Amino acid sequence: MSTTPRRPLRSVLLALLSLLAAALVAAPTAAARTEAAPTATLTEITGFGSNPSNLQMYLYVPDNVTAHPAVVVAVHYCTGSGPAMYNGTEWARLADTYGFVVIYPSVTRSSKCFDVSSPQALKRDGGSDPVGIKSMIDWTVRTYSADTGRIYATGISSGAMMTNVLLGDYPDVFAAGAAFSGVPFGCFATTDGSEWNSACAGGTITHTPQQWGDLVRAAYPGYTGTRPRMQVWHGTEDDVLRYPNFGEEIKEWTNVLGVSQTPAATDAPVPGWTRTRYGATGDRAPVEAISLQGVGHNLYASGMAARALTFFGLDSSGPAPQPQPGACKVTATTNAWSTGLTASLTVTNTGTTVIDGWKLAFTLPAGQTVTNGWGATYTPASGAVTATNATYNATIAPNASVSIGYQANHTGNSAAPSGFTLNGTVCTTS
């Protein structure tokens, strides 16, 4: 039998296979293009990953999105939605200015409240809403090559409570959070399936800072990395989530971040506002708290998102954020006499990146007052002190150290300082 008729067929098959191979090679680029959302409009994204509680994902990408953008997760209030958060806040407009991407999670359950109370929600990868939100972040990072070192959470009311939960569950994901009218991580916990915790809402649940911090640490046992910074806002006349929750949030996050509960700075940026900063004095303090005198639960107003943006470090018109070391170590010794002492501090960058500009925050024992110092500028003279680098020692290479010191008066306690943080990162001591 002749085989001649088979040759054209073989040729056709080879040609088809070549075309198919070429199509497969081109497929990833085409898929990446079709996955990306339209710019300058709110877009619902589906199929973004694990989503045990059936959340919706809305995304806003500005026309001028940067090559490796930051990501802000903006979480709505009870009865709200992702589109309502998009329309009712300035995050999309700020994204237009600074080139970051905004994720707006949206609840589909009837209450329109986020799950901040179930055992699943209060555990890393435990299930419920936090897992779905983490999937939204992962999708955005993959699709836009987002900067994993610049992911932030913010929210109002239920969204503020979820901001606390997200930072507790995923400390390795978020760089900072801003919670408007919320409660501490774990405060709303229930075991009966209820979404509401009246005791917490009423401000009657109080713990020590250590107890609050332990609740956060239990969400991700064994985690020893850098923790996200936290900004909290609350009105003194809040009748939904009572004002004592504000103080409990401060206790929780100062403990988690290893800084003193004594403010490093206090001011009034707007009449009727009291702003306290803990662990440092600048815009990037480990914890920042803003109390609004005479204001109720619905405190969020235009302009507040821009202040949160400054705290995050995404506002290019503000001071540049301090470089964050991967890890640090401080050795502290004192040499005392009857009413005075000298202290020597050696700061070591145990991370893998160069630090160019640093602030070392620590707490002096009660009764000690710095009278002069060397190697840094020390402010204030007592309590929660921040030492700011001199011009000649601003850079600390990986595994390198700088030595600084001060002289102080004391009233009997000549111990070394404690609670060291370097640019917001908690340092080990030796």
Q: Which residues are identified as catalytic?
A: 157
Quote the CA–CA distance of 125 and 227 in Å, as a whole number: 17
Quote the CA–CA distance of 299 and 239 in Å, as a whole number: 12
Quote the CA–CA distance of 223 and 337 in Å, as a whole number: 41
In degrees and rounded to multiples of 5, residue 365 shows phi and psi of -60, 155
Quick one: tokens of 113? 């409240």
Tally of CB atoms within 10 A around 78: 17
In degrees and rounded to multiples of 5, residue 381 shows phi and psi of -85, -10
Quote the CA–CA distance of 160 and 190 in Å, as a whole number: 18
Q: How far is C-alpha 386 from the chain's CA centre?
A: 21
- CA torsion sign for 39, 44, 50, 51 is positive
Please, which contacts does 292-297 make with residues 24 or more away whose CB atoms are closer than 8 Å?
292/233, 292/234, 292/235, 292/236, 293/236, 294/235, 294/236, 294/237, 295/235, 295/236, 295/237, 295/238, 296/235, 296/237, 296/238, 296/239, 296/240, 297/157, 297/181, 297/235, 297/238, 297/239, 297/240, 297/241
Alpha helices per DSSP H over 77-186: 82-88, 91-98, 128-144, 158-169
Quote the CA–CA distance of 343 and 13 in Å, as a whole number: 82
- CA torsion sign for 101, 115, 160, 303 is positive
Quote the CA–CA distance of 141 and 25 in Å, as a whole number: 23
Whether 42 and 103 have beta carbons less than 8 Å apart is answered as: no
Sequence-ordered list of residues with C-beta below 8 angstroms from that of 152, at least 6 positions apart, any chain: 70, 71, 72, 73, 174, 175, 176, 177, 178, 312, 314
The residue with tokens 């300082």 is: 417
Whether 178 and 163 have beta carbons less than 8 Å apart is answered as: yes
Strands 328-336, 428-429: pairing is parallel
Quote the CA–CA distance of 310 and 283 in Å, as a whole number: 7
